[in-house]
Amino acid sequence: MKTVLVTGCSSGYGLETARHLHVQGWNVIATMRTPRPERLPASETLRVLALDVTNEESIASTIEACGPVDVLVNNAGIGLFGAFEATPMATIREVFETNTFGVMAMCQAVIPGFRERGAGTIINVTSSVTLAPHPLVSVYSASKTAVEGFTASLRHELGPFNIAVKLVEPGYGPTTAFASNGQQRMQGLLPDAYGDYAGQVFASFSDIADFTRESDVAETILRAINDRSEELHFPAGADAVALAAQRQRTP
What is the residue range of 11's domain?
Answer: 3-249
Catalytic pick among 140, 172, 194, 197? 140
Tens digit of pLDDT at every position of the chain (251 positions): 899 999 999 999 999 999 999 999 999 999 999 999 999 999 999 999 999 999 999 999 999 999 999 999 999 999 999 999 999 999 999 999 999 999 999 999 999 999 999 999 999 999 999 999 889 999 999 999 999 999 999 999 999 999 999 999 999 888 887 666 667 788 889 999 999 999 999 888 777 778 899 999 999 999 999 999 999 999 999 999 999 999 888 76
d(CA 101, CA 107) in angstroms, rounded, equals 10
> Which CATH number do you get for residue 19?
3.40.50.720
140 belongs to the catalytic site: yes
- One-letter identity of residue 192: D
Nearest residue to 67 via CA among 53, 47, 52:
47
Please report, as a single letter, which amino acid is at residue 124.
Answer: N
Length of the chain: 251
Whole-number CA gyration radius for the chain:
18
Q: How many domains does the structure of the chain reveal?
A: 1
